[in-house]
Amino acid sequence: MKKQTILTGIRPTGHLHLGHYFGAGQNWVKLQDKFETYIEIADVQALTDNFANPDKVRKSVRDLVVDLLSIGIDPKKATLFIQSTIPEIAELTVFYSNLVTIARLERNPTVKTEIKQKKELFGQSGESITYGFLGYPVSQAADITAFKGNLVPVGEDQLPLIEQCREIVNKFNNIYGKTLDAPEPYLSEIPRIKGLDGNEKMGKSLGNAIFLADDPEIIKKKIMGALTDTQKIKIDDPANPNICMVYYYHKLIGNKNLKTVCEECKAGKRGCVACKKELLSKMLEFLKPIVKKRKYYEEHPELVDEILKEGNRKAKKIAEETLKDVKKSMKINYFD
């Protein structure tokens, strides 16, 4: 039986942090063994928000690919490719854009939340909402269908985008005849990782993230500033590990000493500074294999180029097939 295809994407706007790793990356590393896996570096989508920052997007493409290779994405198993190198995606986007109303895009909960955030940032004028931004769910539907993605591993915030893709696929098939497959979302087991400040979400823009590429000195600073039980004042005060981010990260990275950490904390036998220092050393150990691989790829940029070129080539082939089928169904295959 043919393996099912996984298609997922990530916007190149910076390095991966622990939230990405535990919420998504770690899962992708497992999935690449079981499925035909495509990982898209969604530079075109990143530009919908960052069109005035091309340098940032360009640099982030490399940073992100090196991050992904460092955590164990294996180019022999997974196809890593850059969205803008596959013009077929842009063509599909144009065709699909007829099948979506503006009202439906504005009602998409993911888009709605993002528009709200933009209005808070730029005022009520709505001038910051471009045609390209409003249409990015259509382009994402093109991403998914171009590679015949059956399963899309995403976080919960992306579910409305998968639903929108399914609607486009169904409408396309109804009008032009069965051509495309509707994808299913594939939710990861750990959807959301808390930030160092106790925020429900670790996020780049929230300033509460540990990046996989952070230097040990920076990680130290971040861990030393992490939120602990604010009721604990003196070193021998008992505390509640369940509201402490330091304990949360001990647990997340699988500290084998977790039971002791918990008991000593509750009994007032563990000062927060010592506990943070232990977390720092365990964290650096946890990151060691990732750091080692990163060093290798950073020293061999030509290898990263090769991986991407090969990925782009392989991805383009599938997208060409899809586009051919789509054009045929739409009766715009004039010279076939």
The verdict on 8 binding ligand TRP (CB under 6 A) reads yes
Total residues binding ligand TRP (CB under 6 A): 14
The minimum distance between CB 196 and ligand TRP, in angstroms, equals 21
Nearest C-alpha neighbor of 164 from the set 89, 101, 94, 83: 101
The minimum distance between CB 72 and ligand TRP, in angstroms, equals 19
238 vs 228: CA distance, rounded Å: 12
When the beta carbons of 140 and 228 are compared against ligand TRP, the nearer one is 140
The verdict on 42 binding ligand TRP (CB under 6 A) reads yes
| Partners of 154 in the β-ladder | 187
Q: What are 79's two structure tokens?
A: 């196809």
The verdict on 40 binding ligand TRP (CB under 6 A) reads yes
Long-range contacts of 57-60 (CB under 8 A, 24+ apart): 57/12, 57/13, 60/12, 60/13, 60/14, 60/15
Measured in degrees and rounded to the nearest 5, phi and psi for residue 190 equal -110, 95
The verdict on 152 binding ligand TRP (CB under 6 A) reads yes
H or E element at residue 7: strand 5-10
The verdict on 41 binding ligand TRP (CB under 6 A) reads no
Q: Which residue is nearest to ligand TRP (CB)?
A: 9
Alpha-carbon torsion (199, 111, 6, 294), positive or negative: negative
The verdict on 61 binding ligand TRP (CB under 6 A) reads no
The verdict on 208 binding ligand TRP (CB under 6 A) reads no
The verdict on 93 binding ligand TRP (CB under 6 A) reads no
The verdict on 154 binding ligand TRP (CB under 6 A) reads yes
When the beta carbons of 116 and 221 are compared against ligand TRP, the nearer one is 116
The verdict on 140 binding ligand TRP (CB under 6 A) reads yes
210 vs 276: CA distance, rounded Å: 14
Name the residues that contact ligand TRP, by CB under 6 A: 7-11, 40, 42, 45, 140, 143-144, 152, 154, 158
